[in-house]
Structure 1
Amino acid sequence: MIEKNDIEKLVLNRKKSSLRNHFNDMFFMNNIRYSGEIREKEILLWYSSFWLRGAYPIFHLNFDSDKKLVGLKLEKNPFGKLLDKIALFLVLVFASIPIIISGLAKGWVGAVFVLFVAFILFLIMRKAAKTEKKIMTEELKDTVERIEREKFPEKFAGYGLKEKPIENEWTIKKIFTRIFMYPICVGFIYVCAALLIPNGQLGKGICGIAICGAYLYSDIYAILKSSRFKKESKNFKVQ
């Protein structure tokens, strides 16, 4: 079984899990695998992702009284939690602007529109974040498994390394969805940029571009991450 000192070797950049350190890791995109904090009965591991930036997770690896690894859980880093609160505050502020300007009787439509756009963007970005966190978790689990295999080769004699199931981004359904959605998104972005914004409909134009852009971003990101994960899984070696 993996012990605490085995995981300690993964901590290449030791520091405290604080708001300031996570802000620095987000701002400078610290992708060292791994930064971490070593505590008495747990080790915290993390690294910043280009796609998640400040929303990357912290992995909590827990150990029993004999310093044996007994559990793994994820938690959003402190700066990521702060970003969630700031985002919620900004959404409420922008949703209240139409009501303040036009009154409740006329402004509620604009407020609902802002909340709807924010909700759609949240769903799209949550999908991208979920995919990224899944890949980061599988990377760590693979690392731990490979360490255990090197430490106890007799335990795994005759057993090959399990291939982790990776979501297929090229199913017939997804291909036809992209054939249908990509031209619509590109066309709508063009309409927003060329027609809505120049004709004074700045809010609608920006919201339309944001929604279509977020969809394209999250979908292309999922394709690239799936391909990269497959390649890294084959070439990965424990140092």
Structure 2
Amino acid sequence: MEVKKSDIQKLVKVKKVDSFWNHLVCSFKKDYKIYGEVQKNKIKIWEMSSFTGIFYPVYTFEFNSENDLVKTKDQLNSFARFFQFLFPLSFFFPLLSNAFTDFTIKRFLANIAAFLFLTFACHLLSRKIYRFEKKEQLNSFYKKIGFTVEEKTCDKIDGKSENEWSSSKILTRLFTYPFCLALILFGIFGMIPDGNFFIAIPMLAIVGVYLYSDLTMIFRPNK
């Protein structure tokens, strides 16, 4: 049974254009409705959930001349991509300023390294939230229109399941896990005793959430 354009169009509760401004508004409204942009041979839909927060995917459904679904792809919404870089730059700016205060090579390198890693960790964390949820959300969309995963042909879904034990991911973890441990120790024994709670607490929170989400991705059961 083929998925038709009219089936996907039924999912759309609010018609909006897939734009930076609309995703910004959607992120702050938090009404958890399914938004969509309907074009001639394409429909884009997105839905913010309590789990994804602003890091929700935008799904693009492409159709042929007979309005049969031929391809599905997804990407992180434009506001979330912007926020990936805005948040660490603004929130951890004190680390950059501290790097040049009472300048020493050791202090400079420690603060710059912490800033770069936290920026990288924020990016990885948002990607993990996005990856973790996108398949479940897509399946939920199909179920709402009466289809199951088995009823869809695999060649219509653009994207492969990622191997959490690939060489690139192992190498990444060989770098990030020791650095996370170093940041935890630095935050607890270096920053908190000096009264730098404003930086230490968010830093520890991000590191903790990153480790938790990464371990969840590793040990989650295969469906």
Normalised TM-score (structure 2):
0.65
Distance 2:193 2:62 in 1: 56
CA gap of 1:78–1:119, structure 2 versus 1, over 3 A, is closer
Amino acid at match of 2:71: G
Q: Indicate the SS of the match to 2:22.
A: helix
Aligned 8 A contact 1:98 1:111 in 2: no
Alpha-carbon distance in structure 2 between the residues aligned to 1:73 and 1:131? 15
Deviation of the 1:102 alpha carbon: 3.6
Q: What is the alpha-carbon distance in structure 2 between the residues aligned to residue 86 and residue 139 of structure 1?
A: 31
- 1:8 paired residue number: 9
**Distance (Å, rounded) in 1 between the aligned partners of 2:206 and 2:148:** 43
Q: Which has the larger radius of gyration?
A: 1
CA contact (8 A) 2:42 2:61 kept: yes
Question: Residues of 1 paired with 2:117 and 2:78: CA distance?
Answer: 27
1:99 equivalent in structure 2: 99
Cα 1:95/1:141, change in 2 over 3 Å: farther
For residue 140 of structure 1, what is the aligned residue in structure 2?
A: 141
Structure 1: distance between partners of 2:79 and 2:118:
24
Q: Which residue is 2:161 aligned to? A: none
Cα distance, 1:214 vs. partner? 4.8
Q: Which of the two has greater helix per residue?
A: 1
- Matches for 1:71-82 after TM superposition, within 5 Å: 71-82=71-82
Letter in 2 for 1:208: L
Q: Distance in 2 between matches of 1:142 and 1:136?
A: 10
**What is the CA deviation profile of residues 60-89 of structure 1, one whole-angstrom value per residue up to 9, with x for unaligned ones?**
000112222111010222222221231364
Distance 1:147 1:113 in 2: 45
Query: Match of 1:70, SS?
Result: strand
Q: Does 1:208 align with 2:209?
A: no
The CA deviation at 1:50 is 1.4
Alignment gaps of 5+ in structure 2: 152-180
User: What CA distance in whole angstroms lies between the structure 1 residues aligned with 2:71 and 2:77?
Assistant: 18
Tell me what 1:25 maps to.
Answer: 26
How many residues align? The count is: 189
Report the AA paired with residue 26 of structure 2. D
Superposition RMSD on alpha carbons, in Å?
4.0
The amino acid across from 1:117 in the alignment is L
Say if 2:60 and 2:73, in contact at 8 Å, map to a contact too: yes
Whole-angstrom distance in 1 between the partners of 2:148 and 2:195: 60
How far is the alpha carbon of 1:124 from its aligned partner?
4.1
